[in-house]
């Protein structure tokens, strides 16, 4: 399945808009975004960046590091229990596909050896128990400590906390 840009264009052409001046044809077919990436772009990319790089200080990077969370069961659960993920307007199968894209494609080699993809049933179970915490940062910090204990190379996950602490210190300054 593809992200539904082409059907929309098809309808516009059928309505006669094809008579409008057309741009020079690109070489080959129009780029098409696979549906799972489309879901990521629409629901998450605005904050986390198209490629999973957000600059770290306000929103954590996903690219090359989100896979570390699979080092512990608590980390694995955390990724799906986050409100932005748990409440995504997607079926559990579509959300499983999208989270697997985020973890295994954007996360690249941060994924620990032997980690298995999320199933729709696992996603359904986790999203039914979303994190409802005033202090999400504090919870993330505890999860990250456990993850680093299990996978020491995950230390870069702390870059986000450090950036947060820096911003908060700046805000508290007179």
Question: In sequence order, which ranges of 28-152 are alpha helices (DSSP H)?
Answer: 35-40, 46-48, 73-81, 83-86, 92-100, 120-127, 136-150
Nearer to ligand HEC, 7 or 109 (CB): 109
Nearer to ligand HEC, 10 or 55 (CB): 55
Residues forming the site for ligand HEC (CB under 6 A): 43-44, 46-48, 59-60, 62, 66, 79, 82, 84-85, 88, 102, 136-137, 140, 157, 160
Distance of CA 96 to the CA centre of its chain: 11
Nearer to ligand HEC, 59 or 150 (CB): 59
Instruction: Evaluate whether 65 touches 155 at the Cβ level (below 8 Å).
Output: no
- One DSSP character per residue, 35-59 reads HHHHHHIIIIIHHH-TTS---SSSS
Nearer to ligand HEC, 10 or 138 (CB): 138
Query: Which helix or strand (DSSP H or E) is residue 11 part of?
Result: helix 5-14
């Amino acid at each position: 399945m593809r992200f539904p840009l082409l059907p929309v264009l098809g309808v516009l052409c059928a309505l006669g808009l094809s008579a409008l001046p057309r741009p020079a044809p690109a070489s080959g077919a129009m780029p098409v975004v696979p549906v799972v990436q489309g879901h990521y772009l629409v629901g998450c990319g605005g904050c986390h960046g198209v490629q999973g790089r957000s600059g770290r200080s306000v929103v954590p990077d996903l690219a090359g590091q989100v896979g570390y969370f699979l080092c512990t069961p608590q980390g694995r659960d955390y990724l799906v229990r986050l409100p932005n993920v748990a409440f995504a307007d997607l079926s559990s199968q579509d959300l499983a596909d999208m989270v697997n894209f985020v973890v295994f494609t954007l996360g690249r080699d941060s994924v620990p050896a032997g980690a298995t993809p999320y199933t729709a049933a696992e996603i359904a179970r986790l999203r039914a128990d979303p994190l409802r915490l005033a202090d999400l940062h504090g919870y993330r910090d505890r999860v990250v400590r456990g993850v680093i204990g299990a996978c020491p190379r995950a230390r870069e996950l702390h870059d986000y906390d450090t950036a947060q602490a820096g911003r908060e210190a700046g805000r508290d300054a007179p």
